[in-house]
């Protein structure tokens, strides 16, 4: 899936994937990560998610990566803060107290630029990528974060009924990508109310990935 696909979605505000409130799995299971106040959580492909405002309100610090400058600008507008903006090669960093989001290609983000993180919250990244990009992504995330623990949200559904994104990513696939680095535990596996996009019966899973 090319970057132009996502740029076009944001330019046309075709953002049905954007949730207007905190994700139910995050609110229910953030405690599984065992984080202390002030811990820094990385959100890959974060869009302008309301989860960031919720995490900040819980006393955490947030780092994010997002392809679209439009999404990042709207995020800070909705947070009600004016970020300091700096360029780092092909990436642009938007920073305000407690939160830094890098706009651009996540594969251009380096560990030095990101800085240390205590955990990863992946609600919209792995499920947004087609199969041929997922191995590259998961390998990059492990290297980028020094195998930080994860709260990972995925969906399971019949791909014959609906084409992603969000794509169907099963527990077995998560294991293929991450089992050599993490112990993977299912925290929840629930029906998606009304079906995914209102058309496809689906299950939403919250997985806890603990470094081995």
What is the span of the domain harbouring residue 73? 3-211
> Binding site residues, as ranges?
10, 45, 66, 123
Q: Does residue 38 have a cis peptide bond before it, meaning omega lies within 30 degrees of 0?
A: no
Residue 153 belongs to a domain with what CATH number? 3.40.50.150
> Binding site residues for S-adenosyl-L-methionine, as ranges?
10, 45, 66, 123
Tell me how far apart the alpha carbons of residues 101 and 63 are, in angstroms, rounded to a whole number: 6
The string of pLDDT tens digits covering residues 86-133 is 999 999 999 999 999 999 999 999 999 999 999 999 999 999 999 999
Tell me how far apart the alpha carbons of residues 50 and 17 are, in angstroms, rounded to a whole number: 12
Q: Do the Cβ atoms of 184 and 178 come closer than 8 Å?
A: yes
If one counts the domains in the chain, the total is 1
The string of pLDDT tens digits covering residues 123-161 is 999 999 999 999 999 999 999 999 999 999 999 999 999
pLDDT of residue 20: 66
Report how far apart, in Å, the C-alpha atoms of 88 and of each of 55, 84, 137, 178 are.
Answer: 26, 13, 21, 29
The string of pLDDT tens digits covering residues 24-79 is 999 999 999 999 999 999 999 999 999 999 999 999 999 999 999 999 999 999 99
Q: Report the predicted TM-score, pTM, of the whole model to 2 decimal places.
A: 0.91
pLDDT of residue 11: 52
């Amino acid at each position: 899936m090319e970057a132009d696909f996502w740029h076009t979605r944001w330019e046309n505000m075709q953002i049905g994937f954007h949730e207007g409130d905190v994700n139910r799995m995050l609110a229910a299971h953030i405690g599984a990560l065992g984080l202390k106040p002030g811990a820094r959580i990385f959100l890959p492909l974060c869009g302008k998610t309301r989860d960031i405002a919720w995490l900040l309100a819980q006393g955490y610090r947030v780092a994010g990566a997002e392809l679209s400058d439009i999404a990042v600008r709207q995020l800070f507008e909705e947070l009600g803060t004016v970020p300091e903006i700096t360029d780092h090669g092909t990436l642009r960093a938007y920073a305000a107290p407690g939160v830094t989001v890098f706009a651009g290609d996540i594969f251009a983000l380096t560990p030095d630029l990101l800085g240390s993180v205590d955990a990863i919250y992946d609600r919209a990244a792995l499920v947004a990528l087609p199969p041929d990009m997922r191995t590259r992504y998961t390998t990059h995330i492990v290297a980028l974060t020094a195998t930080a623990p994860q709260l990972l949200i995925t969906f399971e559904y019949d791909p014959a009924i609906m084409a992603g994104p969000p794509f169907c990513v099963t527990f077995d696939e998560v294991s293929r990508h991450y089992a050599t680095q993490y112990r993977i535990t299912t925290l929840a596996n629930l029906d998606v109310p009304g079906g995914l996009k209102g058309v496809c019966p689906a299950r939403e899973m919250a997985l806890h990935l603990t470094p081995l």
